[in-house]
Structure 1
Amino acid sequence: MTNSKIHTVPFDAAIYLTTIESQSELLNDALETGDPTYIAVALGTIARARGMAEVAEGAGITREGLYKALSPTGDPRLSTLMGVMKALNLQFRAVPAERDHVTTG
């Protein structure tokens, strides 16, 4: 009987986010959930796909600070998020949320 082990490697979505369209799709999915952790992690994944040092420089933050802010335990400031979005050449957009019934007056 042979004792063989399966070798696994950690999954990193960043290697699959090769287009701005796929990166935008990930970020839009995160934004639609409203989950701050998912949003930060999605931005971090996109930043890794583009090159963390380059994004950090464009956002005006250290690479280490960017890793920390966009980690699952990070809580980035709005100014950090806006800097990252600018460095990634992405924009936040506001659209009305879907509601069952909208009343006025």
Structure 2
Amino acid sequence: MDVTFSRYDPADFLKSEADIAAYLDAAAEDGDTAVIAAALGDVVRARNLSKLSRDTGLSREGIYKALSGEGNPSFATIGKIADALGLRISFQPNHQAITPAP
């Protein structure tokens, strides 16, 4: 019996703002910047890349390269992309890393 597999693409499942926020939060928990960039790339693929390119002033190829997981996007690039996607970057304390004051 032949078994066939289809390619899994997370972008196919990012339908709502809540889906996107939960997906990016999960990626950020790891702390690996390559994982975060790749997850943001999945979000970009789930949206309209051409519009995002126009809104950010970045080329489609530049966006793909920066968010490939192997790219190294600047914080300014991440900020432009997040803003164009209607996302806000926020920071929360990492309670595991906080040491109490003496």
> What amino acid maps onto 2:76 in structure 1?
S
Choose from 88, 91, 99 the match for 1:91: 88
CA–CA distance in structure 2, aligned partners of residues 82 and 6 of structure 1 = 43
CA–CA distance in structure 2, aligned partners of residues 24 and 32 of structure 1 = 12
**What is the match of residue 49 of structure 1?**
46
Choose from 32, 37, 45 the match for 1:35: 32
- Three-state SS of the structure 2 residue aligned to 1:73 is coil
**What is the match of residue 77 of structure 1?**
74
- The higher radius of gyration belongs to 1
> What amino acid maps onto 1:57 in structure 2?
R
> What amino acid maps onto 1:32 in structure 2?
E
Choose from 58, 61, 82 the match for 1:61: 58
- Three-state SS of the structure 2 residue aligned to 1:7 is coil
Q: Which moved more, 1:23-32 or 1:48-57?
A: 48-57
CA–CA distance in structure 2, aligned partners of residues 82 and 100 of structure 1 = 25
Count of residue pairs brought into register by the alignment: 102
**TM-score, structure 1 as length reference:** 0.87
The structural deviation recorded for 1:23 is 0.4
RMSD of aligned alpha carbons: 1.7
The structural deviation recorded for 1:85 is 0.4
Q: 1:101 to 1:71 in 2, by over 3 A?
A: closer
The structural deviation recorded for 1:14 is 0.5
CA–CA distance in structure 2, aligned partners of residues 16 and 103 of structure 1 = 41
Q: Which digits, 9 at most, give the CA deviation of each residue in 1:20-65, with x for residues without a partner?
A: 1100111111112111111001100001101222222222200010
**What is the match of residue 7 of structure 1?**
4
Show structure 1 runs of 5+ residues with no match: none
**Percent identical:** 31
